[in-house]
Structures are given as structure tokens and as C-alpha cells.
Amino acid sequence: MNTTPRVSVQDLHRAAAEVLRLNDLGTMTTAAPNLYPHMWSWDAAFVAIGLARINVPRAITELRTLLAAQWSTGMIPHIVFSENSTDYFPGFDRWGTESARARPSGIKSSGICQPPVHAIALRQILDRGRANGGADQEAAETFLAESFDGWLAWHRWLATVRDPDAAGLIEIHHGWESGFDNSPRWDGPYARVQAGTVPAFTRRDTLHVADTGERPDDSEYTKYLWLVQQMASVEYDDEAVRNVVDFRVRDVFFSAIMAAASDVLAALGEEIGRSSDAGELRDFARRFRDGVASTIDPLSGLARDYDILAGEWISTDTVSGFAPLVSGGGESLLAAQRKLLLGPDWMGHPGLRFPLPPSTSPSSAAFRPRTYWRGPVWPFLNLLLGWASHRDGQNEIYQALKAASLDQLADLRFGEYYEPFTGEPLGSLNQAWTAAACLEWIGPDWQVRTA
């Protein structure tokens, strides 16, 4: 394993900033220049974190654009479509959200959501603005005050509509909502989806990768589209969707992010005098932190998802099993999780090019080193784990993730995901949230000359 950077920190910073510049449409950042020409919800949060390191007002614009697409229910959609390109599938027309009553007029979006990382991005923007002072501080503090109600409505929607039984676990209705699209986590639930008639489709994602084996296959995609049709058939009405959709899973990693972000949003609320709302958010954080802790598999020590329709736990050796490290929790649980993370099935696996957690453990029978969420390493996820480690005072893990991440990204290609054994960038290159993660890892260090 080579840990020697191949480029200077200044060159790495310059290249990452250039990726964000090239992907910038003015009011939103495309997730990638070719494969993903629109705005994705949790991508936008990580992009905003990176942008805040170089341009606080532009980071604010990113989150403001996303929040403008918020539905009247409080839901923030997972895709906001730009006018930049129609070369993406499934596009706005295929989503069937045109007739969704909750969608804001004039803004094209999908009808599902993604994890609520946004409060963490808001905190980072505020911290960067205050560090810079002057106009940046004023803009960041103004944005916090004017946008707080939107983020609060988002968390309330998740806590009620997506946790109707107050189980402390967020219910998702599509693997895309998790962000872990084709993870082995969803093999069981998808195996039970019996797709009806799905109109013919032509995918675009397979045109932008060297090996189509990196992506989900067409049979998987048919099921993805069937779930979209089911939700569109009831115009994305929250209650009706639960009664028609063939995919209902309590997502432990989504829930962990909900817990962490609710605590962050609560602290922001306290800063602007919203103590009652902050108390509500603290309650959300406790509920979902407890929910995550309740899922631990006694055999593996990893957190689990729960298939509502099948009435069974989903035990997989995927990185989502480290959800407690994101949500926080009791010290004995977190200590056990850290030991697993650093152990031979994960960051300590001897075959890894860089000591970073793959999306699926190489020790798992489901591991596929080149296939999307079935094995590759995802840079933005390492940043999230690093953020949580720093929050919890785990500097050793934070520094290990930072050093290995910067080594991984020193090829300056900013892949969507990486082959864990060779370090090869896979998926779409010049991925915005990968570049943003790089900028956040570097922080102010780029201003210091390396030897």
C-alpha cells in the first residue's frame, strides 16, 4: 500500500475546485458533467460543503436551489431537473410527478427523497462564513434564519410520514431513496418485487462507463421503474403510496443520518432562538439514534435494515452496518463498531489499495469490486464517516480516513466510486461530490506549502 501523495496539496485543491467550476450551472451543480446532468439532493449537500471552502455565497445558492424544490408536504425530492440536458433517464416525464399536488409549480423534480444530510452542510456553511467574517458571515447567518423553517419541515415530514409507527427507523419506498441503489441490502426486497408492464426504455448510464458490469442490469432497472410507476399511479400521495408500493424497508443508514442531522439542526435552531423547535429536533435525534441501536445483529455486530412487507431483518455485510458511527450512541456499541471498521473485513483488509471501507465487505459472498454499491469505495461516504469521527473525538480514525482519502484522490480523476483493490476510478469521472469531499478533507491545508 502506497501512501505517498503523487501531487501537491495545492494541485489537488486546484483540480477539485476546477471540477466544481466545470459542473456549475449557476444556481445548481450537476452531479457529473455527462452521466448526471441535474441536481441530486444528498449530492447537493456534499457539494455545498465543498463549495463553502472556496465560495460561501455559491454554497448558499446550492442549498437555496434545492430548498426551492421542496414539496408542500416538506419532502425534498431526490432529483431537481435542470434545463441543461434531456440526456438522462429516467427524466422528468418518466417520473409522473407532473400531476403531484404537493410539487411546487414550475420546478421539475422526481417524487422520492434521499438522506437528510443538509443540516450538516448548513452547519459547515455557517462555520466557514463565520471564519471568513464580513459579507460571508452575514450571508451565512441570514440564510440560516430564512431557511430554517424549510429544513425543519423536511425533518418533520421524515419523522411522521416516513416513521408512522415511531420505530425510530425511516421507511423508504425505493432503493434509490437510500442512495445505496443496488446494494446487497436490497436483494431480498427486490427479489419479491413482481414488476408489471413497464414501457420500453433506453438507459443512458451504461453509455458513460467503460464496463456495463459496473451498473445495475436491465432486469434490476425494470423493477426500479415499476416502483416509480406504482407511486406515480397515486400521484405520490404519502398515505396512498404505502398501500400500493412493493418496496417498504426501514433503512438503518438513512435513519442514522436523520439522527445526526437532527442534532445538528437542533443546535442551529438554538443559535437563532428557536428553542422549542430545537427541543423537537433533539427528540427526533434520540428516537432515531435509539432506533439504529435497536437493529444490531448479535452475530455480526453490524446494524440491519428491516423489510416491512416480509416482516424480517436484512443482515448484510455492507458499510451501512456502521450506521451507529454516524448516529452516535452508547460508548460500548461505538467502540465495538470502531473495532469492526478497522478490522480485517473492512479498512484493515490486506488487499485494499487504500485503507478505506468498501461499500460491501470483501469477505462477503455478495462482494463485487467493480459494481456500483456492491463493493467499490465511495469517497463522499468516507467524508461522512470522517465527519462523525471528528464529532465524536475519534481523531485517529478521522486522520486515517483523511490520509487515505487524499491518497486515493491524488489521481485527479475524481471518480464516482473506486475499485477497492486497484484504486481504479469507476463510474462517472469529475464527480462533483467527490471533488467537494476532497476540498473539505484538505480544508485550509492547501495554503500551506508541502515539502
* Of 205, 280, 416, 440, catalytic: 416
Helices 252-271, 275-293: crossing angle, 10 deg rounding: 160
Q: Does the annotation mark 307 as catalytic?
A: no
Contact 64, 143 (CB under 8 A): yes
Active site residue 214: no
| DSSP assignment string, 324-367 | HHHH---HHHHHHHHHHHHSTTTTT-TT-SSS---SB-TTSTT-
Instruction: Single out the residue of 73, 66, 61, 145 nearest to residue 103, CA to CA.
Output: 73
Q: Are 81 and 109 in contact (CB under 8 A)?
A: yes
List residues bridging with 181 in a β-sheet.
none
Decide if 31 contacts 78 (C-beta within 8 A): no
Q: Return all residues near 91 (Cβ < 8 A) that are at least 6 apart.
A: 81
Residue 370 CB burial class (10 angstroms; 0-12, 13-18, ≥19): buried
Report the SS3 class of residue 96. coil
The residue annotated as part of the active site, out of 181, 345, 392, 445, is: 181
Q: What cell was used for 77?
A: 425530492
Closest listed residue to residue 307, CA positions, set 442, 189, 451:
189
Joined together, the cell numbers standing for residue 192 give 419479491
- What is the DSSP secondary structure assignment for residue 234, as one 8-state letter? T
- Least Cα distance to 63 among 24, 15, 28, 38 occurs for 28
Q: Report the distance separating Cα 89 and Cα 204, nearest Å.
A: 6
Q: Could you identify the residue written with the cell 453490524?
A: 302
- Give 204's contacts (C-beta < 8 A, 6+ positions apart): 35, 87, 88, 89
Reduced to 3 states (helix: H, G, I; strand: E, B; else coil), residue 393 is: coil
Residues annotated as catalytic are 181, 416
